[in-house]
Amino acid sequence: MSTSAARAILQLLPLNAPYAQERLSKHFDVIELWKEADPKSVIAERKDNIEVVVTSAMTPTPADLIDALPQLKAICSQGVGYDAIDVKHAQGKKILVSNTPEVLNDCVADLAFGLLLATARKLGHAERYVRDHQWGTDAAFPLGAKVSHKRLGIVGLGRIGMAIAQRAAGFDMDIRYHNRSERIGISYGYEASLVDLASWADFLIIATVGGDSTRGLINAEVLKALGPNGIIVNISRGSVIDETAMVNALASGELGGAGLDVYEAEPKVPDALKSMDNVVIVPHIGSATNETRKAMIDLVLDNVDAYATTGKVITPVPAL
Ligand code: 8YV
């Protein structure tokens, strides 16, 4: 680590691309904080040079870190979600914050549909049934639920929500959505009441932002309205669903099934979910494809380059 007075970048996590470090060090002296034995003293020593922080959607970037960096001008994050970054605090100090929207829409929407199909058609359970040598035994495999031509409710009709709706149209599904406000010019039906949407829907896919504004949005009442044949899919943030209420509803049969990519306290997954056959659980892999992760990393690097050369970022997080 160089102690020069060069413009420095504080990188909180590795960017898994062989060319990333070379691109970052084009404009900045790169501090690879995850390699440091004593990160706090490194920050104290270099605080007057650090202009940029590189972080990710799942890497905490709190106000006290932001306050420890008096020269900080930009926070460039890998990921579309920014609930782990104190964006309001940063923006209050005129610090730019960028994320990586759009480039992951397809893969996250594909996984949402994969989880819906896997849960409705019991793919995880069926896989275990064959691997556990039950096929051909007396234990008949239970029937699943049809997906095509069913009613899909989307909670959070943003970029990823729209990509999910596009896929649902391919399955001839009826689509309605709930947002904080109705979107103009959208052909899908708007439900101002989340409970009404859940009562109407066969399946509910959660594609909202995370953070305080949506914490516990999907509560026991909404889950009850979705019902014993209903299936919930979550590819946004675990905090959006009241996880205890969901586990109880699944255990009592009040809720039919769940396909989950995100959890309240990742990587911790409630043990109760692990023994349920009507639940599909995967480890936050929404954007985890070679193509999409490369595109996300490239957009982080493009944002850093843009800041270094123009003082602006390409994909700023909206003002909160
Ligand atoms: C993570 C995500 O970035 O983009 C988001 O908001 O949650 C994911 O794409 C990814 O899992 C890396 O942490």
- The DSSP result for the chain, as a single string, is ---SSS-EEEE-S--S-TTHHHHHHHHSEEEEGGG-S-HHHHHHHHTTTEEEEEEETTS-B-HHHHHT-TT--EEEEESS--TTB-HHHHHHTT-EEE---STTHHHHHHHHHHHHHHHHTTHHHHHHHHHTT-TTSS-PPPP----TT-EEEEE--SHHHHHHHHHHHHTT-EEEEE-SSPPTT--SEE-S-HHHHHHH-SEEEE----SGGGTT-B-HHHHHHH-TT-EEEE-S-GGGB-HHHHHHHHHHTSS-EEEES--TBTTB--HHHHT-TTEEE--S-TT-SHHHHHHHHHHHHHHHHHHHHHS--SSBPPP-
d(CA 98, CA 117): 33
d(CA 87, CA 5): 27
291 is known as an active-site residue = no
Count other Cβ atoms within 10 Å, centred on residue 51: 18
pLDDT tens digits for 35-48? Answer: 999 999 999 999 99
State mean pLDDT over 118-132: 97
Q: Which of 36, 45, 221, 266 is catalytic?
A: 266
Q: Which of 237, 243, 264, 293 is catalytic?
A: 237
**Which residue in this structure is represented by tokens 């039919």?**
256
Percent of all residues in the chain with a pLDDT value above 90, rounded to a whole number:
97
Task: Bin 119: left if φ > 0, else alpha if -120 < ψ < 50, else beta.
Answer: alpha
Cis ω for the linkage preceding 142 (within 30 of 0): no
Of the pLDDT bands very low, low, confident and very high (cuts 50, 70, 90), residue 214 is very high
Residue 162 has pLDDT above 60, yes or no: yes
State mean pLDDT over 207-234: 98
Whose Cα sits closest to atom 4 in ligand 1?
Answer: 79
Of the pLDDT bands very low, low, confident and very high (cuts 50, 70, 90), residue 307 is very high
Domains and CATH numbers, the chain: 8-101+291-310 (3.40.50.720), 105-281 (3.40.50.720)
**And the tokens for 249?**
């509803």
> For ligand 1, is residue 80 a contact (CB within 6 Å)?
yes
Rg (CA), the chain: 22
State mean pLDDT over 290-301: 98
Residue 65 has pLDDT above 80, yes or no: yes
Q: Which ligand 1 atom is the nearest neighbour of the CA of 287?
A: 9
Phi, psi at residue 52, to the nearest 5°? -130, 140
Residue 167 has pLDDT above 70, yes or no: yes
d(CA 14, CA 200): 44
Phi, psi at residue 56, to the nearest 5°? -145, 170
Of the pLDDT bands very low, low, confident and very high (cuts 50, 70, 90), residue 139 is confident
State mean pLDDT over 76-90: 98
pLDDT at 1: 44
Of the pLDDT bands very low, low, confident and very high (cuts 50, 70, 90), residue 6 is confident
Of the pLDDT bands very low, low, confident and very high (cuts 50, 70, 90), residue 5 is low
d(CA 137, CA 129): 10
Q: How far is the CA of 81 from the centre of ligand 1 (A)?
A: 7
Q: 101-115, 126-140, 150-164, 268-282 — which is least confidently predicted? A: 126-140
